[in-house]
Amino acid sequence: MTTLTKSGRDAYAADFAALRQGRNGPDLFANLRDSAWERLEAAPSPYARRGNERWKYTDLAPMARVSFKQAGAPARLPEPSGIRAVAPWDDAWTTLVFVDGRYAHTLSRNAGTEVVAGSLASAGPSEKASVERWLTTVQAVDEEHFTLLNTCFATDGAYVRLPDRSATARPVHLLFVSTASDTPRVSHPRALVLAGKQSQAVVIESYVSLDLTDRHHSNAVAEFVLDDGAQVEHYRILAENEHSFHTGNTRVRQLANSRFNSVSFATGPALGRNDVHVLVDGEGAECNLVGLYMTTNDQHLDNNISVTHERPHGTSHQYYKGILAGSSHAVFSGIVVVKPGAIKTYADQKDLNLLLTPGAEIDTKPSLEILADDVKCYHGATAGHVDLDTLYYMRSRGIDFETASRMLIRGFAAEIVEQFRPPALARFIEDVTESMLPGFRFASSGSGA
Amino acid sequence: MPLLEVRDLHARVLNTQTEILKGLSLTLNAGEVHALMGPNGSGKSTFANVLAGRPDYEITQGQVLLDGEDIGGLFPEQRAIRGLFLAFQYPAEIPGVRPWQFLKASLDAIATHRGQPKLSVREFSKVFDAAVEAVGINPELSKRSLNEGFSGGEKKRNEMLQMEVLQPRLCVMDETDSGLDIDALKTVAGVVNAMRDPKRAFLIVTHYQRILEHVTPDFVHILVGGRIVQSGGADLAREVEQTGYEDLVKSA
């Protein structure tokens, strides 16, 4: 990518033309792609630096300097053992595996019949109406560059539908794997999750790299629709490699009395952006967004979270924690919007950060936009270094500096880590965080005696 | 050989010029209980923390010998595994770390240093539960994060819990009695009395004589201006309680 036009669209023009040329016959996404391409030109560019509130703390220049090819179908599929080595896995789960954005049927497994789970492209005639009704509608609350870009190149994706009143404790895992390649590639993972009335399910979404050094850009969009009374327990794992780029969009629409519980863990990419936007569009709906992000070295991770209350009696909680080491930079921009009429809304948001090194930097900006009366909203943020008095206290009990630092970091993370409930997922998160600890060293002049 | 021997100790806060301890000398033999009293600002807490190795104090002159070994240059953890324990005046709150986890890590570190096997979780639980009962801590507290949301009294009881489990040879108690109600004070005194042992010594740092009504010290020292200005038996504490520190401050 040499120069960027105002919208950043031109860089993809040749790829888009090639995609159009290459498709024989109409497919599910044909019209959506064309429409997205038209709108992409007018959408605000994320690359603009001046007056760009939405990307204020994240300069995409390092990503713009890399020339990405659109990821095609992989020459050969990775070994299942290779995938299991880098991703959470449980044979008892229904797992849909996507390799470089393409559905890999042979690597996937459907462990139950309670839910409809498969690829969007192969969704049967009975699913057509649901898919057409909802696909790209949840993301469409605003015209955002990366969600539109995803749609421009969409050819497939994950599809999960929970029939009305269905309930399963068996997680559905949407696993997006990036493979190694000679040249940097971009893929566009996509998911559509439709939770029927009074349905209950666990959905895990994870992003991993098979290769530790491969440079790739995952531009993900996941849309969730929760019908009346639906309860979705959602987990999002971002654990791609340290050379990758990730722009992830989670878009949720909640109808009356539904509950969306989401726990996320993010680490890995050189530059990552985690957008979560929830529209509380039914009375009495509840939304809990919880997340842990860990960054080190030169990593940059930007969490852009919003919950918009459109209807009365809604509840939302945002609770995020960050652990920053090296000269990494993390961002938390959280906003709660309470629209006129959304009376009796309760909303809170909190972002707590632990900075381990003088070079680590956090920009945290929780905010409220309240346009209704009779609501209760709270927000807060903290950023602190490891407390020397606390370390001294621990050391005075015989616990050495290194062990004490690790206990403090684990302790800080525990509150979130404990919320990953599926056992195989909990083990994965524990393994990943433990393996990261040696790189999360606390640096201070007070480390000696 | 004395358990603790402090010789002409001078110390200051790191990167400052003003000495807080100005030639403190003190000897504790195993089996003894010493009380160190003094007015605010006399250097009592500084002394307790210099003994424990707080990183932001520096010794500018003199020596601290534990079993004859100069520990003045050792890290706090190195002193702890040699058997020194400081009950903190203001114990730290540690989010996400349960009291038993913390204490197990501490006990493991000490066992490793001594070349002893670590206690199994089951063995440790027994020791821990017994100590919880002994110091009268609400068992619910031990399921929470260490010291987080604990009242002042609960924090002090928790310090006693740690002392009870770790069984240190030199127990330094930094104003453990301050801010305690009478029940908690009796608990603290009870732990000390139960732990009195020919192989162990206590240094009870306090502003008030109150705790000494429940723990009878063998020696009482008065610290004024960073030096011990008077030493005596248990009676000295009562005298000071009546006359106050003022005369001693003037004559120092």
Name the A residues in 190-229 with CB < 8 Å from any B CB.
none
Of the partner residues B53, B162, B166, the one whose CB lies closest to the CB of residue A449:
B53
Number of residues that make up chain B:
252
Helices A401-417 and B99-113 meet at what angle, rounded to 10? 150
Cα A96 from Cα A75, distance rounded (Å): 19
Rg (CA), chain A: 21
Quick one: CA dihedral A424, A429, A432, A437, positive or negative? negative
Q: Which residues contact A93 (CB under 8 A, 6 or more apart)?
A: A109, A111, A170, A171, A172, A173, A204, A422, A424
Q: Does A382 touch chain B (CB under 8 A)?
A: no
Substitution target from A350, A382, A391, A395 for chain B, most B beta carbons within 10 A: A395
Nearest of B51, B142, B40, B131 to residue B88 by alpha carbon? B51
Q: Does A415 touch chain B (CB under 8 A)?
A: yes
Which residues in chain A have their CB less than 8 angstroms from residue B74's CB? 449
User: Which pLDDT tens digit goes with each residue over A285-328?
Assistant: 999 999 999 999 999 999 999 999 999 999 999 999 999 999 99
User: What confidence score (pLDDT) does residue A1 get?
Assistant: 42
Tell me the three state secondary structure of residue A230: coil
Amino acid code (one letter) for B110: I
Average pLDDT, chain A: 92
Which residues in chain A have their CB less than 8 angstroms from residue B96's CB? 410-415
CB contact under 8 A, B106 and A403: no
CB contact under 8 A, A398 and B53: no
Q: Does A402 touch chain B (CB under 8 A)?
A: no
Cα A213 from Cα B211, distance rounded (Å): 64
Of the partner residues A412, A413, A449, the one whose CB lies closest to the CB of residue B74:
A449
CB contact under 8 A, B109 and A390: no
Contact by Cβ (8 Å): A123, A29: no
pTM recorded for the entire structure: 0.89
Q: By residue range, what is the domain housing residue B193?
A: 4-251
Cα A279 from Cα A284, distance rounded (Å): 13
Q: How many domains does chain B have?
A: 1
CB contact under 8 A, A396 and B105: no
Average pLDDT over residues B41-50: 96
Residue A6: pLDDT above 80? no
Cα A404 from Cα B94, distance rounded (Å): 11
Nearest of A71, A52, A68, A50 to residue A11 by alpha carbon? A68
pLDDT band, very low/low/confident/very high, at B252 (cuts 50, 70, 90): low
Contact by Cβ (8 Å): A222, A204: no
Q: Does A401 touch chain B (CB under 8 A)?
A: yes
Cα A279 from Cα A307, distance rounded (Å): 6
User: Which pLDDT tens digit goes with each residue over B101-136?
Assistant: 999 999 999 999 889 999 999 999 999 999 999 888
| CATH code, domain with B194 | 3.40.50.300
Phi-psi region of B141 (alpha: psi -120 to 50; beta: other; left: phi over 0): alpha
Which residues in chain B have their CB less than 8 angstroms from residue A393's CB? 88, 91-92, 94
pLDDT band, very low/low/confident/very high, at A434 (cuts 50, 70, 90): very high
CB contact under 8 A, A413 and B92: no
Strand (E) or helix (H) holding B53: none
User: What confidence score (pLDDT) does residue A399 get?
Assistant: 95
User: What confidence score (pLDDT) does residue A5 get?
Assistant: 52
pLDDT band, very low/low/confident/very high, at A3 (cuts 50, 70, 90): very low
Cα A9 from Cα B193, distance rounded (Å): 79
Q: Does A408 touch chain B (CB under 8 A)?
A: yes
User: Which pLDDT tens digit goes with each residue over A118-139?
Assistant: 999 989 899 999 999 999 998 8
User: Which pLDDT tens digit goes with each residue over A186-212?
Assistant: 999 999 999 999 999 999 999 999 999
Residue A446: pLDDT above 70? no
Average pLDDT over residues A355-360: 93
Among chain B, residues having any CB pair with chain A shorter than 8 Å are 52-56, 73-81, 85-86, 88, 91-97, 101-103, 105-106, 109-110, 113, 145, 162, 166
Rg (CA), chain B: 18
**If you write DSSP's letter for every residue of A37-106 in order, what string do you get?**
HHHHHHSPPTT--TT-GGGTT---HHHHTS-PEEP-S-SSPPPHHHHHHHS---TTSEEEEEETTEE-GG
Which residues in chain B have their CB less than 8 angstroms from residue A447's CB? 55
Cα B172 from Cα B71, distance rounded (Å): 15
Which residues in chain A have their CB less than 8 angstroms from residue B170's CB? none
